[in-house]
Structure 1
Amino acid sequence: MEPSRAAAPPLNFGSVARSISKILRLRRSAASSTGGSADAAPDDYDAIHKFKLARDFRDYSGIVTEPPDKGFHKPEDEKRQLQPQRSGSSGDLEAMESLLANLFASISAVKAAYAELQVAQSSYDSELIQSADGAVVAGLKHISVLKQAFFRNQFDPRTCPILQPALAAQLQELRNLNRTYSITTHKLEAELDLKDSEILAHQASLLESEREAQALEAKLHPNRSLAALDGLHLSGLNPTHFLTALRYAFKSIRFFVQLMVKEMDSAGWDLDAAAGSIQLDVLRGKEPSHRTFAFESYVCLRMFSDFDHQNLGFGALEECLAWDRRQFFDEFTRLKSIAMNQSLGRLPSPVARFCRAKYLSLVHPKMESSFLGDLDQRAMVSSGRGFPGSEFFAAFAEMARRMWLLHCLFFSFEPDTERSIFQIRRGNRFSDVYMESVTAAESKDKGDAGGAEGAGSGRATTVGFTVVPGFKVGRTLIQSKVYLIPVDAKANLRS
């Protein structure tokens, strides 16, 4: 008696595979014994019924399905469904190739439609969204139809109207891929345009912030920035503007000197000996903080060398000899609000050549090797290939830019205007008309009223060395900054 369905054991897929293998072996053995005649079919179905698979596998139509006549497909149909790739006929291979080509063409069509749908959603377009959505749905439906045709063994393009030849399907796939790439390209271009507009907006915001910062700097520290020279015209130029630019340049000199001293200290230099090798008077002063004045005098001596020459004494700036005051002023106006890294982007520019020449003149190879460990930075500067991005060179480049601006403004005055630069020789008597004591200015900044030599201290002083040169522009005299020493040390000074 056949057991009830409620008591049937759970389905085992391993036994399913084994049962199917037995069916195929029975079919092959029956075919070999009968010579391949159709009379063996009823015996095969009897053998199949002995396994009682109809009830257990009725729902698994992809494996065993009931034919309309006797409840089962013929073993030949099962074999074609399970192993279509084993068919040796060229027609079956061509049909399978056509089916796969149509499948890939349909998939590529769905991808192209989906890409179009994404583009339509980024900048909302209802009509394009509906069109692309319909194309996606149509593509998915066509893939489903291809699936059904495969399971029904109806994938021959000569008999199936939904299939096109393999070459035509491959061509359609390439067209769909090209369409996908085109849509993606347009999408990326749109994103790139959006990023460019955001960059421009941020740059405008940055410039506005920089202008506000310059305005605040001008209010907090008058004459220490070039914001006060915004809107300056050549006809309105006067010595006060030059004084503003001079203070702006000296501020960068001090910053560079501080960085240089920091590098010396990190490299293990004897700062007292280094300062004394530049100005011996600093060692006699016994004031460690005065070492900075020696280094500042060295940097100023190099940077202001040949300042009163239009080409600053460099053959690389020979074209500046033919410039008139308008060209110098235009150069000043163009560069005063541009960062040095932008100025150095144009390597043949005069300011870039000035920066290169001054760097090679001021920074000694031993100094650079001690700071950086090698001379690669110097080699890059001297070769003209470019400019380093180190902090040390960035500070020097900014100082060079401000010195170039000061030089351009110096030659923007009328040719008949008296323009000169001067420094005070060692041993000269101090004069508050032509000189300003750097130690007195330092004491004033610190709030020490009694720290100025020769100004209420009761001791006679004389000039030890010039830190910052003085200028005369027209009738305006800009004092030179000097380092003073007591008169009784004058006999020990070396000329």
Structure 2
Amino acid sequence: MIQKVVTLTLLLFFFVHLLLQLILKNSPPLFTRFKPFLFPLLLFHFHFYHLLLLPHFCNSMDTIKQPTSTSRTKLSKTFHNINPFKKSTKSLSNNGFCLLLPHKNTDSSHTHFNKHLAEDPKTRHKAAMEAFISKLFATISSLKAAYAELQAAQFPYNGEAVQCADQGVVDELKIISELKRNFLKKQIDSSPPHVTLLLSEIQEQQSLMKMYEITMNKMEREIKAKDCEICLLNKQLLEIDSVNKSIELKLNSSGCCFPVMDNVKLSDLTPTNFVDVLNYVVRSIRSFVKMLVRDMINAHWDIDAAVRAIDPSIGFAKLSYRCFAIESYVNREMFDGFNNDGDGDEGEDRFQWFNRFKKMKSLTALELMNENPKSAFGKFTRSKYMRLVHPKMEASLYGNLSQRKTLNTWQFPETVFFGAFMEMTRRVWVLRCLAAAIGKEVSVFQVKKGCRFSEVFMESVTDEVFTGDVRVAFTVVPGFKIGETVVQSQVYVPPA
């Protein structure tokens, strides 16, 4: 009964392919319309025959009693029972090629095998059927690879490759048709079964290699497309970066520093005014730090190494927190000597400092420099640049020391980087003028590393929530004491 079902299934399978070949011969356009449904149809027949019918078909032919100790089932059991040469073929070639190597007693082994087959027709028929099925499956695998090659040739479209792949599909269908005729005529043992099995295995491996090659070519095309997209995005990034730098230059050249204090009188100054200007100074410093880090990245600096040079013992919960270490270094240099940078102007009274404050906050840094390059502010800017930007650092970032050489002649470079630096120093100088005009003693304090975190004197620069005994890693923005008023310092607290 099982053999009849198998035979009917194969007849249906071969009838479908015969019908498709007739369509191809008589009406090629119609075949082109049905081509997308060809491979799913073949795959359905393949799985149906392989998983459901083949085990029963092979077991029905197995009339030799098997030992009861064997536990292998289904297709693997049948293949191992039928194929006595399968184990030896694995050592013949590792590259998918059949190599005929001389062995001792080869003639005697073949003679024994042929004698065994001649004496047992059922075993001979069983081995021939196994070889035929193996060849059928190998041909279907080749058809699958040919169809995949046809699909790959269509995206992107390549007319010559499409025709070649189309011919390959037709050739495989012709082979299946030939197998159908041989099966119907019961001519399935035209060659030795073990040779057919070896050739089928080679064909399977070749089909698999072709599938891998198609997949590899597809991935290479995708990689090239991604590389082109990356190049385009990098170009857009450079354009945006250039626009941002020009905008920053315009912002740094803007005139008014803090317009809400235009109508403030000397008698109205409070610590709140100092905090407002301090926040504006901090924004300028952070803008400069971002520009500095961006220039470091463009110059292929190791940011981690730069941070370790500032403090090698600090760990950061996020990579973005590394900029706090660089900001700490800039703030430390800019606010160093905050109360002693007047260059002999400490004897001025509050009124003079307040007038200087109003003048400086209404002019740009470039205007102040052009007015008097050797003024107290000019000397302050020059000395801070020499301390903050090391010669090796300047040469590494910009390829030369032209900015430093220009400063040594008491002229000022008209670059985006130095423009941001001058604006930062101008705001620090404005804050110093306000501190001298406020009428109370103003002092700067830093929180030492390892101190316990106190909300009275400190605030964290991150949004992390801390519990328990929290220790400070370093000060980012220094704190200030204005008389009895405390302006909190901004500190970085490492992760627990």
Q: TM-score, normalised by structure 1?
A: 0.47
Q: Which has the higher contact order (CA 8 A, sep 6+)?
A: 2
The structure that has the greater radius of gyration is 1
TM-score normalised by the chain length of structure 2: 0.47
